Amino acid sequence: MIDVQVRTESGDIVVHGSCGLDWKAVGRIDEDEFPFLGSLLPYADTMFNSRQTERLRREIADQSVSQILGRDAVAEIERLCLQVKNGPHLYLWFLGD
């Protein structure tokens, strides 16, 4: 499972995501079509800054992403992206197993 968190610049956790991402589902994402989602790895951590989360939000708006990851996961990513966008010096982290 890939955990999703919002963290401060110093690494303090602001929000834990309520549902994780199934790494097998993430592996089905076409990385050429969705380069930000496609960069997530099951056994590594990935961090996005506020500018990058805007691009990520555009990717998850695609209906095929909801079909692969599930509506709950996409809604959570959207919510956490908005939190990063609206807060100072926040980052969205995807933490692999």
Domains along the chain with CATH numbers:
3-95 (3.40.1760)
Percentage of residues in the chain having pLDDT higher than 90: 86
Residues, the chain, total?
97
Output the pLDDT for position 51.
96
Q: Please name the amino acid found at residue 26.
A: V
Which tens digit of pLDDT belongs to each residue from 9-55? 999 999 999 888 888 999 999 999 999 999 998 889 999 999 999 99
Q: Can you give the pTM of this predicted structure?
A: 0.93
Output the pLDDT for position 42.
83
DSSP assignment of 31-46 equals: TTT-HHHHT--TTSEE
What is the phi/psi pair of residue 30, to 5°?
A: -75, 110
Output the pLDDT for position 97.
78
